[in-house]
Amino acid sequence: DAKTTQPPSMDCAEGRAANLPCNHSTISGNEYVYWYRQIHSQGPQYIIHGLKNNETNEMASLIITEDRKSSTLILPHATLRDTAVYYCIVRVHMNRDDKIIFGKGTRLHILP
């Protein structure tokens, strides 16, 4: 079972920041938070990951709470091409069984 909880769907206006929440209340100290997205049956696309510090790259920012029980993915200026299913995943560092367990994700609709 997935170890994360996400809202099933969200709307965001084009040009605004999209903030996607994720709960991972049972996360362990050696587990990383990863975000992927899947645009209409294409292969999942890596977005960003982090352990406990906030992270930013050219696609998004990841804000992890101090207790690490939740996080937020931020797309700073959403465009129509950001319409996708966004998956929040926890992965164990140095785990021999590196199978990513995908939950149902959040379906993000960007509204023109």
Partner 1 sequence: DSGVTQTPKHLITATGQRVTLRCSPRSGDLSVYWYQQSLDQGLQFLIQYYNGEERAKGNILERFSAQQFPDLHSELNLSSLELGDSALYFCASSRTSGGALETQYFGPGTRLLVL
Q: Is 92 in the site for partner 1 (CB under 8 A)?
A: yes
Contact status, residue 59 vs residue 82, Cβ threshold 8 Å: no
Kindly tell me which of 18 and 33 has the beta carbon lying closer to partner 1.
Answer: 33
Residue 95 CA to residue 34 CA, distance in Å, equals 15
Read off the tokens for 96: 């021999």
Q: How far is the CB of 100 from partner 1 (least distance, A)?
A: 6
Residues 15-44 that bind partner 1 (CB under 8 A): 30-32, 34, 36, 38, 41-44
By DSSP bridging, strand 9-13 and strand 106-111 are parallel
Binding site for partner 1 (CB under 8 A): 30-32, 34, 36, 38, 41-46, 49, 87, 91-104
